[in-house]
Structure 1
Amino acid sequence: MTIKFGFYGRVSTEDNQDPQASRAWQLHRARALIESRGGVIVAEFFDVDKSRSIPWQLRPHAAALLEELKAPRRGFDAVVIGEPQRAFYGNQYSLTFPLFEHFGVPLWVPEVGGPIDPANEAHDMIMGVFGGLSKGERNRIKIRVWAAMAAITATEGRFLGGRPPYGYQLADAGPHPNPGKAADGRRLRRLVADPVTSLVVRWIYREFLKGRGYLDLAEELTLQGILCPSASDPERNKHRDQRAWSKYAVRVILTNPRYTGHQVWNKQRKDEVLLNVENVALGTTTKQRWNTKDKWIWSEHPVHDALVSVEDYQRVQDILAKRASGQYSQRPHPTRRPYALRGVLFCGYCECRMQGSWNNQQAYYRCRLPAQDANAGVHHPKMVYLREAEILGEVDGWLATAFGPDALERTIAAMSEQAIDPNETTQLDPRKPLAMCDRKVSQYRSALDVGGDSIEMFPRISEPKNESDCREEKLKAVPAGQPASVAEIRSMIEEIADVVSLVAEADASDKAEIYTRLGLKLTYYPDKHYVEARVEPRPSPVRSVSVRARLTAVLRLNA
């Protein structure tokens, strides 16, 4: 008699293992166990890049396996695991196996030579030991890695990866000292001063020591046309505003000890915290937290170009400590506040996403661009506020009307008329780099004004100009596309019509998710006293990306 099995495995890429190779050997162990008993694997559940400390309910494929256990027609008779140390961590076995026992699905593992017998104390003890070994192995790896990183930082000062701080760029530092990695072509990197941005860092420290504040420095840098850190590296900062310097960007530079020429590591750590203190069985999640300065690991000697002296850096930290001495620490909120319009409400002055603020037991949204960023040439009040209750009912009413059964045909016709030509979106991408090239040229000229080396700057000015000319030629060759068809728009609208029907009864946190799925974008214009609502449904990944259409409306606020 053939026994149908479901296979479960897991691999974490933290130890640089190949997921395909790991899956292959785990499958090999599982098949070696069951094939002699007439077993065959008919379903696979394999989690990739999920730590073993994550409980089964939070691993995508493990959770899917647990759901399949509940189905009477699940398609398999038993489950086999090729490596229990990869499947279970700590007490996960004792929390998971009762589900297999309850639904009558045997669990096979090589370590017991077949199915686990719930009445066998030896089996239970063996699986508990493997869970403990799994936890101990992970802890030992963490300790060894931490000790190695600390020793490399202190004694060698080696660059340990990541993006270079603003003011630096990466340069080759020779082959990797590990022979295996060197054979694969891996090389070391080191930080060298960027000829343009390093001048900006030195200027920020010099002016701050003269008594200037964060926002004052940010406004001066923006006025001079100096690119902010996010605009200097736009590919990795697409989520950030790149128009102007913010006071937080200035503060990050002033608190970064690596500008002294020393390598500094262990500024942050990863802690495992309980998902629910009332239910420990749910497991833990990893959170990144800041370490105190006494736990930072400094290199014994300077290892890269110093932009400021250790003495000046320490003077800056003393000033910051004195300024912060009068601040108070806010008590954390016991629960997360629900914001129905989270992530979909934008300011009409600056087009920035408005932030949630809880006042008088109500949800508000605010934009504080002038208090955080330098003036980027945008007329903006000091504070823009909007109460959620003023607009939430109007938004739900408009969605119910526009996507209701009676108005569906009218909505499809309106969106067909406003369908976005793919040519418009295609031409946006080449023009962004063109503007960036112009800004780079302006930045290099500003660097000349503050004392940059002209011999070194002129080749850098010619490089973006040549790139700009090349992109102009590519822009002329952009092929024409096809606008969205009525059938494609109808298919998208019918998919989201059912979702809209759930909005009225949903709570605030669910509303935020529904609005995001609908492609809703709200823009608040305080001077005109209205909110522009726009819906741009996102096509499914299997459809053509050229299928785009929008539906807009103006929602008047109560006077």
Structure 2
Amino acid sequence: MSSGDATWQDELVVRTDVIGCGLAPEIVSVDTFTQVQLMRRSRAAGGMRGRGKLDRRTFTTSRPYRLRGRFRCTLCERKMLAATIRNTIYYRCLARTIAPGSPVLTAHPRTVNVREDHVNDPLNDWIMQAYDRDHINQTVAAIVAANPRLIAARSQRTRAVAKLKDADKRLRRHRAAIEAGVNPVALVEPINAAEAEGAAAKAELENLPEPSQVTAAEIYARIDMIGELGTSLSSAQPERLNKLYDAIGLELRYAPDEQRVHVSTTLRVANECVRGGT
């Protein structure tokens, strides 16, 4: 846990299933596109006043986009924009809005679309299952076990131990060479280098901080504060769902090449951030 004003975040990633999604058909015909282009040119001919009408504007809408701001495209890592097309809600990523010359354009389709109605039910089913009474213990245990700070600390310790062993091995080899008759002067620099690396690795091991560990009790306490978890979401109002999604830090990443949505959630425990996902 952090103390005072100092804070840190843990991102605990637990991967299970993913949600399959369909793609959208072509949206605008060639004739419609041509007519729009002619209209734009006509307006632009009116000078600066006419060109001003061509700028993008922000419109308010009463339509409930349940997952607005939560989708990202895995190809370019940008947020996907919500749009309604023929009374169907899509989240879209357009290649034409990517900076010209970006290497992302080589693999990015002209338009990436994912339908909201293909995601809603599988997503809410996953949330209810992950946090219901039958699965809550498994979910919490997986979150605790996946603490990246703990994993990173173990990895750092493993690397330091390997460096120390390698330095000791080289020192023993150099000393054996001297005993076998090799001129010690020729090995002064290699011996000094091995001793310095060994000393640095030993100092690193002695000064490694103990990783902070989020406890299961803290995670349970946070989950108890979110009363919507583990309850039916199939008929929930958009406002209620948005509050729940905010509380669990819902994030969605759509992979067009897989036609799958990867889901992650973030639970904040005091000043810590605890993450799980699918």
Change (3 A) 1:320 1:523: farther
Query: Secondary structure, in 3 states, of the residue corresponding to 2:66?
Result: coil
Partner of 2:85: 359
Output one character per residue of 1:475-523: Cα deviation in whole Å (capped at 9) or x when no partner. x999553121222222223323534526333223432332122111111
In structure 1, C-alpha distance between the alignment counterparts of 2:120 and 2:226, rounded to whole Å: 19
1:338: Cα distance to partner?
0.8
Change (3 A) 1:528 1:511: same
AA partner of residue 324 (structure 1): R
1:536: Cα distance to partner?
1.6
Partner of 2:48: 321
Q: TM-score, normalised by structure 1?
A: 0.29
Identity %: 24
AA partner of residue 277 (structure 2): T
Q: 1:492 aligns with which of 196, 204, 222?
A: 222
Give the conservation status (yes or no) of the 8 Å contact 1:420–1:550. no
Query: Secondary structure, in 3 states, of the residue corresponding to 1:406?
Result: coil
In structure 2, C-alpha distance between the alignment counterparts of 1:535 and 1:483, rounded to whole Å: 19
Partner of 1:400: 128
AA partner of residue 521 (structure 1): E
AA partner of residue 120 (structure 2): L
In structure 1, C-alpha distance between the alignment counterparts of 2:254 and 2:228, rounded to whole Å: 27
Q: Which runs of 5+ in 1 are unaligned?
A: 1-316, 426-475, 554-559
Give the conservation status (yes or no) of the 8 Å contact 1:364–1:388. yes
Paired residues, what number?
181
Give the conservation status (yes or no) of the 8 Å contact 2:263–2:277. yes
Q: 1:343 aligns with which of 61, 69, 74?
A: 69
Partner of 1:481: 211
Structure 1: 4+ residue segments shifted above 4 A: 317-320, 325-333, 422-425, 476-480
1:370: Cα distance to partner?
3.7
Partner of 1:368: 94
Query: Secondary structure, in 3 states, of the residue corresponding to 1:515?
Result: helix
Give the conservation status (yes or no) of the 8 Å contact 1:403–1:497. no
User: How big is the alpha-carbon RMSD for the aligned residues of Structure 1 and Structure 2?
Assistant: 3.5
1:328: Cα distance to partner?
9.6
Output one character per residue of 1:158-193: Cα deviation in whole Å (capped at 9) or x when no partner. xxxxxxxxxxxxxxxxxxxxxxxxxxxxxxxxxxxx
Q: 1:414 aligns with which of 137, 142, 148?
A: 142
Query: Secondary structure, in 3 states, of the residue corresponding to 1:405?
Result: coil
In structure 1, C-alpha distance between the alignment counterparts of 2:222 and 2:53, rounded to whole Å: 55
Partner of 1:536: 266
Change (3 A) 1:374 1:344: same
In structure 2, C-alpha distance between the alignment counterparts of 1:478 and 1:353, rounded to whole Å: 38
Query: Secondary structure, in 3 states, of the residue corresponding to 1:537?
Result: strand
Partner of 1:301: none
AA partner of residue 393 (structure 1): D
1:132-281 aligned at under 5 Å gives the runs: none
Change (3 A) 1:424 1:341: farther
Q: Which has the higher contact order (CA 8 A, sep 6+)?
A: 2
Are residue 385 (structure 1) and residue 110 (structure 2) matched? Answer: no
Structure number, greater radius of gyration: 1
In structure 1, C-alpha distance between the alignment counterparts of 2:111 and 2:57, rounded to whole Å: 22
Are residue 505 (structure 1) and residue 235 (structure 2) matched? Answer: yes
Give the conservation status (yes or no) of the 8 Å contact 1:370–1:381. no
1:375: Cα distance to partner?
3.9
